[in-house]
Structure 1
Amino acid sequence: MRDLDVLGVRVEMPTNQPIVLLRERDGDRYLPVWIGAAEAAAIAFAQQGVTPPRPLTHDLLRDVIAGLGHQLAEVRIVELRDNVFYASLVFAEGVQVSSRTSDAIALALRTDVPIRCEDAVIDEAGVVVTEDQDDEVERFREFLDQVSAEDFDTPGGPSEPERRES
């Protein structure tokens, strides 16, 4: 099991499909996960520390878990099948609940729990970034500094100039 950090979300062109990019904490692999626009916004909100005036779905789930006296211990990305990632919410009591990976990541960011990935999944889907590709990762980080969660609320996401590609 590998610990992952969330680098952020972006819209992949030309498909306009949002992805969340995770990075192996003690390694050099990245895990790109294609997600929906609503989940991209939820992840971006959590990363930016945005508190909506009314709870969003992931905020509500966090509050329900706490209100029932339970605690989320970690999120695990457990499987990759037919190009779909599968995750589990692992509670302190040992209970595991199946989850979409994007929802699990959004909840992990709101509850400050670790995101872990099965070795087999990162071995299969992880991407090693070479020095030549480091520039692309740096552009991605610059993009993250410029994008806001509201960019994912629009049908097309950020426009091409907002991607800041050179």
Structure 2
Amino acid sequence: MSKVEVEVVGVRIEMPANQPILLLKASEPAYYLPIWVGAIEANALSIAQRGLTPPRPMAHALLLDVLEKYEAELQDVTITGKDGQIFLAELHTNDGKSISARPSDAVTLALTAHCPVYVETQLLEESGIEAPEADEEEVAQFRDFLDNVSAEDFETGT
């Protein structure tokens, strides 16, 4: 099966349910993949994405330390499929081993270890949302506006 590297956009909150969503973005093909996660997992993802180091190691750092002690390291993670509404993921180590994981844990580990995140192409096409293509002319006009706007442009004179 083929897979595509994705960018970890981050954690967003779906309203009105107030449910955290891990948002991944692929460039080719241009898709977003939303994965609903729990609040604790969303917190761990946010900490890892910001590159923060808590005073005591979290479970993700512990797992990376264990891999290192066994002379292995995390090579990449892949979101592999779905079982009903549950997404599945795998950790891949540099010694050829594959370990089943929850996507939230897999992505948190990837962010902590600074390794790539992939999604199976078929899963991306089936469960992803097509990303709208940017209109280059509109983007250029908006950049021009930002380059030339000043605070005085917003004064109402009241």
TM-score normalised according to structure 1 size: 0.75
**1:93, distance to aligned residue in structure 2 (A):** 1.2
Amino acid at match of 1:52: P
What is the aligned partner in structure 2 of residue 110 from structure 1?
A: 112
SS at 1:85's partner residue?
strand
SS at 1:94's partner residue?
coil
What is the aligned partner in structure 1 of residue 97 from structure 2?
A: 95
Contact kept? 2:51, 2:112, Cα under 8 Å: no
**1:57, distance to aligned residue in structure 2 (A):** 1.1
What is the aligned partner in structure 2 of residue 130 from structure 1?
A: 132
**1:131, distance to aligned residue in structure 2 (A):** 5.8
SS at 1:58's partner residue?
helix
Q: How far, CA to CA, are the matches of 1:120 and 1:130 in structure 2?
A: 19
SS at 2:96's partner residue?
coil
Residue 53, structure 1, aligned to residue 35, structure 2: no
What is the aligned partner in structure 2 of residue 62 from structure 1?
A: 64
Gaps of 5+ in 2: 135-158
**1:25, distance to aligned residue in structure 2 (A):** 3.4
Residue 33, structure 1, aligned to residue 31, structure 2: no
Alpha-carbon displacement from aligned partner over 1:76-132 (angstroms, at most 9, x marks no partner) = 111112111100001111110100011000000001111111111001111013369
Query: Identity across aligned pairs (percent)?
Result: 42
**1:26, distance to aligned residue in structure 2 (A):** 2.8
Amino acid at match of 1:4: V
Q: How far, CA to CA, are the matches of 2:51 and 2:73 in structure 1?
A: 21
Which structure: larger Rg?
A: 2
Q: How far, CA to CA, are the matches of 1:131 and 1:2 in structure 2?
A: 18
Q: How far, CA to CA, are the matches of 2:69 and 2:56 in structure 1?
A: 17
Q: How far, CA to CA, are the matches of 2:133 and 2:79 in structure 1?
A: 27
Runs of 4+ with >2 A deviation: 129-132
What is the aligned partner in structure 1 of residue 138 from structure 2?
A: none
Q: How far, CA to CA, are the matches of 2:69 and 2:18 in structure 1?
A: 37
What is the aligned partner in structure 2 of residue 76 from structure 1?
A: 78
Q: How far, CA to CA, are the matches of 2:27 and 2:97 in structure 1?
A: 25
Q: How far, CA to CA, are the matches of 1:23 and 1:131 in structure 2?
A: 13
